[in-house]
Amino acid sequence: MPTLVLDMSESAAQKRYRLSEKGKKVKAAYMRKWAKSPQGQKTRAAYKKTDKAKMYKAAWEKTKKGKVMRARAKKRYMAKPESRLKAKIAEHTRRAKVSGLPHTLTAERWLSICEEYNHRCAYCMKQSKLTQDHIVPVKKGGGYTEGNIVPACLPCNSSKKDTSLLIWMASQYV
């Protein structure tokens, strides 16, 4: 009796289709759909935690194409002040969540706080690039709320570090 052998190899026609533009578009659409699925998200999250993923990302960013793509992303990021602001607020919110602190400040509220201070530093009243300063530092239990955030210039915010406001003010005027 003859045995049935299944040929699982790719035929020439299948290979041509896979390598054609249409085949690439179909596969890309499938991969995007799969990436949004729960299984795809779980797989991607697990992979991102591995050292192998970090190693590949670092190697890719050193390539010519990686550098070009990184430069484009940075250009898009720098072109939109609102996206930079949202990224900063997201990072502050993440830190507050990790610390188990309240985190209610929004981008709109931060802009209105800056307007209340006439876009000046709350400590020295200079008009320069403003950063968000916690009156009570996060390290000491200060949340990311509108009552605990004031605009501060970089020199004031850097010199204050993680000290409380009263101690820092006393050291400034001694």
pTM reported for the whole predicted model: 0.56
CATH number at residue 166: 1.10.30.50
**Is residue 154 domain-resident?**
yes
**Is residue 45 domain-resident?**
no
At residue 113, the pLDDT reads 94
Alpha-carbon distance of 25 to 96, in angstroms, equals: 42
Domain count, the chain: 1
At residue 7, the pLDDT reads 57
Q: Which amino acid is at 155?
A: P
b/e 113-148 (16+ beta carbons within 10 angstroms → b): bbeeeeebbbbeeeeeebebbbbbbbeeebbbbeeb
More confident residue, 133 or 164: 133
* Cα radius of gyration (the chain): 26
**Is residue 65 domain-resident?**
no
Which residues constitute the domain of residue 131? 102-172
**Is residue 126 domain-resident?**
yes
pLDDT in tens, 36-62: 899 888 888 888 888 888 888 888 889
